[in-house]
Structure 1
Amino acid sequence: MILSKYIFKSMFMAIFVTLVAIGLIDYVMALLNELNYRLDGAYQAQQAFWFITLTTPGRLYAFFPYICLIGVLFAFGTMADHRELVIIESTGLSKGKIIARTLYGPIVWLILAFAIGESLVPKLDQQGYELRNVAAAQGSTQYGVWHRDQDTYYFFKAVKKDGSVAAGFSVKYNTLTDAMIYDSFDAISLTDAGDWQFNGLARYTNQRGAAWQNEFSGQSEPWDTNLTPDLLWLLTSPDAKLSVFKLFEYSNYLSAQQLSDDNFRLQFWQRVLQPVLSLALIWLAITFIFGPLRQSSTGARIFIGLMLAISFNLIQSLIAPLASTINLPEFFAAAIPVALAASIALVLQFKKAL
């Protein structure tokens, strides 16, 4: 019982220390990048500071499987350096039982990470991206997004987290009248009944060979669309972290609009398989400690852990273009890092057993 508590505490604290260390490094690097390349309009240093603060948990959640890998290597490495593994084995605990007790700490962290990542992280990301989008749209022309809904093309300058649009315009070709229709609007908002509405709408039409004609200005008009506030907000914040359910919903919407949804389906499966990847990487870390890294120093083990984390992160980054190039189903593409980590761990486990 005492040994189980000690192993649990060692693993839990090692992952915590790794989480804090990587979080600080990520925060500083992300803030420097934001200050150097993203400031524009009313989006300045103060807003960039709050944006990075609000979105850091989302980046750490995406990197959490690798945090578990480094944390377990660090914990086991420290125990091996102090001969604690030898002492634990001398009490009669087999390696299998030691490994089983090793999993308790990481599993608690995985549960915590999943709970926070699927509830709090999307809300924090929404607040951060809303702050940046709205501030950057003031006095700047480089921020905004195009979107096609049915046969109309929209440009939204900034979208708030409740889905309301600050300003924009749309372009549509009417095949019946052979005319281009250009609408500009001051805002898109939700009515009390929950329906979308253009505010400050001005419409201009142009038939081929004729001048532009102003049909009306300053009107309110309903907007017929399948976009929900969350989906509309996501258009201007494609990098924001979403829950598994929102990823599934948005990919279905894109598919219904005959737009590419491959990236969001891939993100959906990566998020679903993230706990499995974490367990595979923990298994890999354990086989390293009981195998080729048993006599290595703590520094060497941490270095190996960082290299493995970077390598698997690069593999995940290359999966999206690879999957689209060879038409690989999103589930199998997301499972590649899991299969690779499990295969390496299995080979090391087999070699150690010989």
Structure 2
Amino acid sequence: MKLLPMRFDLYLGRAVFSTVLITWAVLVGLDVVMAFSGEFKDVGKGGYTLGHAAAGVLYTVPRRAYTFFPTAAVIGALMGLGQMAATSELTALRALGLSRKRLSASVAIALSLMTAVMVVNGETLAPWAQQRSDSIKASAKSGQSLASSRYSGVWVREGDTFLSAGSGDEQLLPGAGTRLVLNDVRLYKIAEDGKIASLTHAESVVHDASGWTLNKVRRDTFNERSATRTTAESEKWDSQLDAGALATGFSKPRNLAARDLRTSIEYRKRNGLDARDYEDIYWSRWFYPLNVLALCLAAVPFAFGSLRSGGMGKRLFLGILFALGFWLLQLFFGRMAGALKFDYRIAYALPPIVMLVVSGMLFRRKSG
């Protein structure tokens, strides 16, 4: 069995690839223009200029490309295949003995390669660029450095202790690794009856490979009828709080990579916090490739039927209809999972299963 692509595979792939890219560029371009125009209202606040707005929006392009790819894939695939159907190229390929399933497999392979690139982008470039965009906006408006503005006013919970930090900074260590330094830190330890058991103030808190270290510590411990104060130059803080979970708390769940989402989910579950928003986005990332392929395969049978007649408007309408229908179906199951509190994996598996069943039914109908 030959594993190398045949000439018709390359031809189909090139046709689909070009129309998907054009559709993708149009969708992302329109979204970028709208986002940039929306930043005008903030220009002039603090040190926020038009240049900061442009840079902030440009850094969001990888995330926007990831978000719009499923829609661009189904519209572009339908337009590309529809053009080939209108010029009888698909009919000619069928006359050579190629089945509908074989032609659909060629389209799926081309889209799989593009989807793989988007998955890598969604886990690497897009989160990093989005963080840069958020930092540029925050630092320009506040007048602080990128890292300081990111960690300004931190509030997190770890067990029975709440941490508050005035500012913070990430420092690169010689060789490899980073070190997190939080300034003007207060630790509020809450007793079982809800009262404050102790209040600890540290001029700085450092997190590195050895864990958390409090520097220049002053601790007030509250008893039933008295309070005592102790001081220390430096002491260890035995905490499971991870610097990664601390950092991800400043970004919206949809802007995080899957590994950061997983860290945030574990942190929230450990501290009895609601993690369903993070679980929602986390499992949507895992089902992203399947969603793209299921959506496109469900639309492919139309290339062998109704797309042979009608112009570009018809293909565009069908593509938008499929993309919108799938999005509404996914949104419905996602909201149901949140309301009824059942597994998000089930919610995100149902829409592609429905679309694949639709695709199978359409294939049998067209074959009949």
Q: Do they fold alike, i.e. is TM over 0.5?
A: yes
Counterpart in the other structure of 2:296: 282
What is the CA-CA distance between 1:27 and the residue it aligns to? Answer: 1.4
Which of 158, 161, 175 is the aligned partner of 1:152? 161
1:119 aligns with: 124
CA-to-aligned-CA distance 1:255-312 (integer Å, 9 cap, x gap): 1222122222222221111111111011012022224444232122113212332343
Moved more, 25-34 or 105-114: 25-34
Instruction: After TM superposition, give the deviation of residue 196 of structure 1 in Å.
Output: 2.9
Q: Does 1:190 align with 2:207?
A: yes
Cα 1:205–1:314 change in 2 (3 A) is farther
Task: Report the count of equivalent residues.
Answer: 349
Identity between Structure 1 and Structure 2 (%):
25
Aligned to 1:249: 263
Classify the secondary structure of the residue corresponding to 1:93: coil
CA contact (8 A) 1:270 1:335 kept: no
- Residue of structure 2 in register with 1:262 after alignment: 276
**1:159-308 matches, cutoff 5 A:** 164-165=181-182, 169-174=186-191, 179=196, 181=198, 188-191=205-208, 193-198=209-214, 222-239=236-253, 241-308=255-322
Distance 1:268 1:177 in 2: 33
RMSD: 3.6
Shift of 1:35: 3.9
CA distance in 1, matches of 2:334, 2:216: 40
The answer to whether the 8 A contact 2:198-2:220 is kept is yes
Q: Which residue of 1 aligns with 2:173?
A: none
Alignment of 1:27-66 (within 5 A): 27-36=32-41, 41-66=46-71
The one-letter code matched in structure 1 to 2:271 is Q
Contact preservation (8 Å) 1:247, 1:264: yes
Aligned to 2:23: 18
Compared CA separation, residues 251 and 93, structure 1 to 2 (3 A): same
In structure 2, runs of 5+ residues without a counterpart are: 1-5, 171-177
In the alignment, what sits opposite 2:95? 90
CA–CA distance in 1 between the matches of 2:183 and 2:58? 24
Determine whether 1:330 maps to 2:339.
no
For the residues of structure 1 that align with 2:336 and 2:107, how far apart are their CA atoms?
A: 35
Structure-2 change in CA distance of 1:168 and 1:179 (3 Å): closer
Contact map agreement 1:178 1:208 (CA 8 A) in 2: no
Cα distance in structure 2, aligned partners of 1:78 and 1:186 = 67
Q: Which runs of 5+ in 1 are unaligned?
A: none
Q: Counterpart of 2:350 in structure 1: which amino acid?
A: I
1:70 aligned onto 2:75: yes
* Aligned partner of residue 147 in structure 1, secondary structure: strand
Shift of 1:105: 1.5
- How big is the shift at 1:69? 1.1
- SS of residue paired to 1:231: helix
- Name 2:3's counterpart in structure 1: none
Report the alpha carbon displacement of residue 60 of structure 1 after superposing the two structures with TM.
Answer: 2.1
Specify whether residues 194 and 153 from structure 1 end up closer, same or farther in structure 2 by C-alpha distance, changes over 3 A only: same
The 1:188/1:98 distance shift into structure 2, 3 A limit, reads: same
CA distance in 2, matches of 1:166, 1:128: 24
- In structure 1, the residue matched to 2:174 is none
Q: Secondary structure at the match of 1:249?
A: helix
